[in-house]
Structure 1
Amino acid sequence: MPQLNTSTWLTVILSMMFTLFIIFQLKTMSYQFPSNPQPTCSKQTKQMTPWEKKWTKIYSPLS
């Protein structure tokens, strides 16, 4: 049974990781991020739900 030649695996793995790193860097460089984001105020409208209109009794569990 022949032996598996693993002498080039380190080179292949390191070059793959380096290539993926470069690709990731190039992809993130293409994004345009805002330099100074401003918070926006959004008004929340309160929706009345049927269970908020009436009082309900909450029972504690039996011990």
Structure 2
Amino acid sequence: MPIHANDQGWVLETRSTAYALGLNPAGLLTHRYWGPRLPLPEDYPPPWITTTGAITTSIITCKCW
């Protein structure tokens, strides 16, 4: 399972799905994306933008310690 890290956060990929998370401008860990795998790690939305798909409408944040 590839795990990619860049300045926007982290992307965990399986053969067909992906989960992306990152730190938003407030320093909170934020859900970025969950759904079908995208071609490049840079294709996933940044932490402060949400998508409107049925499986990606919730925003999850928690304080990072």
TM over 0.5: no
* Band the TM-score falls in, shorter-chain normalisation: under 0.3
Structure with the bigger RCO (C-alpha within 8 Å, sep 6+) is 2
So what's the TM-score if we normalise by structure 2? 0.15
Largest Rg, 1 or 2 = 1
Identify, as 1 or 2, the structure richer in strand.
2
Q: Say which structure is richer in helix.
A: 1
